Structure 1
Amino acid sequence: MPEQPPYLRVADLLRRRIADREWTPGDRLPSRAQLAQECGGVGENVIRRAQELLISQGLLEGRAGSGTYVAEPRERLRVVRSQCREERGEPPFRADMSVLGKHGTWESSTEAKVPAPAPVAARLGIPEGDLCVRTAYEFLADGKPVQISTSWEPYSLTRGTLVVLPEGGPHAGKGVVGRMAAIGITVTHAVEQPEPGHATAEEATLLGVQRGALVTRIQRTYYSDDGRPVETADIVVPAGLCEIVYEVPVSP
């Protein structure tokens, strides 16, 4: 078998020392130079990579200008992806957080008439550059960020209606299914494609995690009863803060 990369070996050593309670939550780790000596004389760059890995896994946390610390245990929230969520009337995220005893809210920013980039246009089945309504969301549980997403809807679908702005007007905050129903469009299903990834600098800032932290990226597209895509979104969920569970309905 190929030899384990040095930074993975060091990460295992640090993980073991934390498990043995040599360091406990809130403790500051020794300097990289000292750890490099303690770990067999490896380079400080190896220590840095090992620490970054453990930070992305939620075991350590970096504090600017202060050092690296053992992270306090954080509860991972259970995020349910389910068709049934759309049928309960209440916004799905708020309903999920309510089950966990938390207050779910979100902040949003909408831009109308944004040209669709090629990947988004392909998912919506429209020509590249067609105008869309783009909305950026930051979802919060008890005021702390747990998920972000960017939603795209064809402007030609909702222009001139009361639902053209997802978070404005009488149907604000009702979600895609409820808003589309208000203009006579029946949404029947969604397709989701989850993939693992690492947080960009911007995503890390919004989510309050370390740059490069493990995340799950979900491409979601809603379809109407005639097969037309009516909305697509890019959702980012930090792996260290949330566990994703899919609920699949079964016909009797």
Structure 2
Amino acid sequence: MPRETPYLQVADALRDRIKAGEWAIGDKLPSRARIADEYRVGQSVAQRAMERLIIEGLLEGRAGSGTYVRRPRERLRMVRSRHRERRGGSPFRADMREQGKAGTWESRSTARVPAPEPIAERLAIAPGDPCVHTCYEFLADGQPVQLSESWEPMTITDGTPVVLPEMGPLAGAGVVERMRSIGVLIETAVEIPRPARATQHIANLLGISVGDLITEVERTYYDRSGRPVETADITVADVRWEIAYEFGIEQPDA
């Protein structure tokens, strides 16, 4: 898009003023009407310029209050690897421990939820087959880190002590450990990361701004026979976390 576009010109000017320290972190910016008057543009142009800086992470909008200079957030690295599944217990809690943070989560499980067609395809079951559907909000030191929506076919876990992920003898132990306890050995995990922008709902849950960049990870676990045993949609705020993948390299026989 050409830089002569009015809202980009206004965004550039506001960005320069923020970086020069005219407004400090936490300061409230002038109203949209005042900015429009100052730069001799329409209020819709001023609004687009401010929205651009919200997306970039320089500003944050507060409902009913105004627009403020946002505090820069620390961006940490989340490593996805085979190693994370071999440590025992919850991989997330171990990940956070390695960052010096306390990992906790809140969850809500519902049994016998009919599988939507896209989920059924990922799990190689028929649409409408009963699943356990669990929604997670993961926290580090009490702050939101990631969201997850998990689906498990009830043909695998129904009637076992681990049918609900966060209840029973292995509550919170993670999918791999729970499945192993009933003789289902998970051998492979496939993850497909995709970039997206935060909706209002996602922004509220992750404590970020609408339009912030997020990473959505479609993950599916497979047992030794290649059968899908769990699939999940994981959402991470890109402004706070980058995702790195670690691969082991097999060495040739000597």
Structure 1 length-normalised TM? 0.94
Q: Deviations over 1:37-61 (max 9, x none)?
A: 333x222222222322322332211
Partner SS for 1:54 = helix
- The number of residue pairs the alignment matches comes to 250
Question: Per the alignment, do residues 6 and 232 of structure 1 end up closer, same or farther by CA in structure 2, a change over 3 Å counting?
Answer: farther
Structure 1 ranges of 4+ moved more than 4 A:
none
Task: Give me the whole-angstrom Cα distance separating, in 2, the residues matched to 1:180 and 1:90.
Answer: 12
Partner SS for 1:189 = strand
2:45 aligns with 46
Task: Give me the whole-angstrom Cα distance separating, in 2, the residues matched to 1:34 and 1:190.
Answer: 53
Q: CA deviation at 1:167?
A: 0.6
RMSD: 1.5
1:7 aligns with 7
Q: CA deviation at 1:238?
A: 1.1
Q: Deviations over 1:156-186 (max 9, x none)?
A: 1100111100111001111111111111111
Contact 2:107-2:137 within 8 A present in 1 as well: yes
Partner SS for 2:156 = helix
Alignment of 1:140-219 (within 5 A): 140-219=139-218
1:226 aligns with 2:225: yes
Q: CA deviation at 1:129?
A: 0.8
Task: Give me the whole-angstrom Cα distance separating, in 1, the residues matched to 2:81 and 2:160.
Answer: 28
Structure 2 gaps of 5+ residues are none
Q: CA deviation at 1:124?
A: 0.5
1:251 aligns with 250
**Percent pairwise identity:** 60
1:130 aligns with 129
Letter in 2 for 1:135: T
Contact 2:146-2:236 within 8 A present in 1 as well: yes
Mean CA deviation greater in 220-229 or 96-105: 96-105
1:58 aligns with 57
Partner SS for 2:179 = helix
Contact 1:57-1:240 within 8 A present in 2 as well: no
Contact 1:192-1:221 within 8 A present in 2 as well: yes
Letter in 2 for 1:165: L
Structure 2 length-normalised TM? 0.93
Question: Per the alignment, do residues 172 and 240 of structure 1 end up closer, same or farther by CA in structure 2, a change over 3 Å counting?
Answer: same
Letter in 1 for 2:13: L
Question: Per the alignment, do residues 126 and 30 of structure 1 end up closer, same or farther by CA in structure 2, a change over 3 Å counting?
Answer: same
2:31 aligns with 31
Task: Give me the whole-angstrom Cα distance separating, in 2, the residues matched to 1:197 and 1:158.
Answer: 33
Task: Give me the whole-angstrom Cα distance separating, in 1, the residues matched to 2:147 and 2:47.
Answer: 28
Mean CA deviation greater in 53-62 or 100-109: 53-62
Letter in 2 for 1:207: L
